[in-house]
Amino acid sequence: MRSSELFKEALELFPLGVNSPVRYYSPEPVMFAQGHGSKILDVNGKEYIDYSLGFGPMILGHANPDVSNHIKSQVDKGILFGSISENEIKLGKTIKNAVGSIERLRFTNSGTEATMHAIRLARGFTGKKYIVKMEGGYHGAHDYALIKSGSGTMTFGVPSSAGVPEEVSRTVLVGRYNDAESIEKLFKEHRNEIAAVITEPVLGNIGVINPENDFLNSLREITEKYSSLLIFDEVITGFRFGFKGYQDIAGIKPDLTTMGKIIGGGAPVGMFGGREDIMAHVAPQGDVYEAGTFSGNPLTMAAGIATLDQLKSKDYSAITNYAARLEEKLNSLISEYNIDATINRCHSMFQIFFNKNKVTDYKGATASDTEKFNKMFHTLLEKGIFFPPSQFETEFVSFAHSETDLESTVDAFSSVLKCL
């Protein structure tokens, strides 16, 4: 088959044939050729209902005509000038007006860059050394993000990747999501040394884990108490649940915010922004350096403008209701076939954990049966349903998903769960 032939070529070029590890799964990943609306087609011509959506950005579906036309128009005008362009101003104003905590911002090329620069800025602004992150929280692939707790306890982080110096990992402290006491303990132990707490307001790279027990408010109170900054990583959640950030839904104002994915309409993008006095420390205005040849490039900005222009008038309850109905139907099947599984959902993102217990943190997520998830993934793939290929990713609903998609998805799941 053409897919296998192409993958053999990829194996000769890239480590295990892919340019991002989450794209690989055994025996070989499906190779996609095009997408339209809620569907994607592989190079062999097979069609799939897509719940990965490029790992989140394609909230309008694939090949949205308005977004495509904006990109094509910008290509004819030029794709890179090495200077500020009007598109940056348009998209920047839209984001600033929509998210109350963002007074100044800076575009980057990826969420990884955005969190890396936000962490550096927090250290530069406060003059403090340590960063607190959540166990299982993902903030990109730079050294300060690739840290986890070695034993599931509160301790200095240990690298979760070779090549991260131990000296770097010692500046990152790891607390537990939904456990405010674990965060308070870290602050008591390192009282005047913590620059910031960084967290996804809704964990989205370990499945979907919602904040509970007023956890996010507790983070705000703790960071203010100890003169530390609060960074919300909204790379996934920004503009996902409404024309705003999750912080606006939760009613919490972080000091810094990172975004990506949706604000670029599928093109490479990242952004960090927040309080004006903090952002004033970013070069060339201040002494915290950040730069990027392709940051704020006109092509990405055009895709972002077209995407957010449409989202302004969208009724987000449509995709939330779709996900809620899918959750309800899948829960019925889980009960019918007596499967040990639970579904976590936040508005239009969801994940199935093969775990009889409720999943509220890293420990619960990693206790799930990943072998069953893999069987489900591959069987759904055969039936034309594409999920992200990991228990620890997230499924998304787009505005392009239809009633027919919902029925087809439920039918496929009925067969899959019956087999499991």
Residue 77 known to be catalytic: no
Question: Which of 48, 138, 316, 322 is an active site residue?
Answer: 138
Catalytic residue among 128, 133, 261, 372: 261
Torsion (CA) 202, 207, 213, 215 in degrees, nearest 10: -40
Tell me the two tokens of residue 17.
């044939």
233 flagged as catalytic: yes
Q: Which entry of 50, 233, 255, 369 is annotated as an active-site residue?
A: 233
Q: Alpha-carbon distance 172 to 125, whole Å? A: 17
Active site residues: 138, 233, 261
